Amino acid sequence: MPEFRRSPDRNAALAQYRRRARFYDLELALFEPIRRRAIAQLALKQGDTVLDVGCGTGLSLALLYQAVGAQGRIVGIEQSPEMIEKARQRVEQHGWRNVTLLCSPVESAEIPAHADAALFLFTHDIVRQGEAVANVVAHLELGARVVASGLKWARPALGPANLFVLGAALHSVTSLEGLSQPWSKLAETLSELRVESLLAGAVYICNGVVTHST
């Protein structure tokens, strides 16, 4: 059983995703409807630039490409070399020329664009780091939409849902800090924040808008 920290731990996350990279796509298959719902809330248009924060193996790239088209741009950020290699293979297989992949922690990533939107999909350790959130928002245009989704604690009465959250967290995060409201650091930066709960309260999707510069 992993040792949970008070705050996210980069070395622990790198080790965790090194182990998961080979099977990650299969593990996330259950959440494909969540992915589609979250990406739809980005309200992307042809020609937009979007940041895929914590892009993993690139499971969101096809939907993002479909939304922004060949004239748009996608920047994926992922600190795990094993995960981003899978994403690179995906990009090469599809011949996507407008996808840039950065192998870097999000908080120190040198993001080469100012984007119209950003996606944080099942990236609990990232959305709980203020520096990571700030670096992403600093590279977003005013009016950019930000969508995040992931695990959260359900109401205490929903014991089975919370057992699901705990089991999934044991496998996918390095800190349980903030699981009651994982979006709280985004809420400090974004306006018009809306949050919906899914899967009996075990998963959330939130979206908001950048209305001021950082």
pLDDT tens profile 149-207: 999 999 887 788 989 899 888 888 998 999 999 999 999 999 999 999 999 999 999 99
Is 14 domain-assigned? yes
| pLDDT by position in tens, the chain (length 214) | 344 556 788 899 999 989 988 888 888 888 999 999 999 999 999 999 999 999 999 999 999 999 999 999 999 999 999 999 999 999 999 999 999 999 999 999 999 989 999 999 999 999 999 999 999 999 999 999 999 999 999 988 778 898 989 988 888 899 899 999 999 999 999 999 999 999 999 999 999 999 976 5
Is 5 domain-assigned? no
From the number of C-beta atoms within 10 Å of its C-beta (0-12, 13-18, 19+), residue 198 rates as middle
Is 4 domain-assigned? no
- CA distances (Å), origin 167, targets 49, 160, 181, 211: 35, 11, 18, 37
Is 2 domain-assigned? no
Q: 199: domain range?
A: 10-206
Is 19 domain-assigned? yes
Cα angle value 61/63/67 (rounded, 5°): 110
Per-residue DSSP letter, 178: T
Three-class SS state of 138: coil
Is 133 domain-assigned? yes
From the number of C-beta atoms within 10 Å of its C-beta (0-12, 13-18, 19+), residue 42 rates as buried
Is 212 domain-assigned? no
Is 1 domain-assigned? no
Contact 99, 61 (CB under 8 A): yes
Contact 201, 154 (CB under 8 A): yes
Model pTM score:
0.93
Taking the C-alpha atoms of 16, 6, 155 and 31 in order, what is their torsion angle to the nearest 10 degrees?
-20
CATH number, domain with residue 43: 3.40.50.150
Q: Structural domain tally of the chain? A: 1
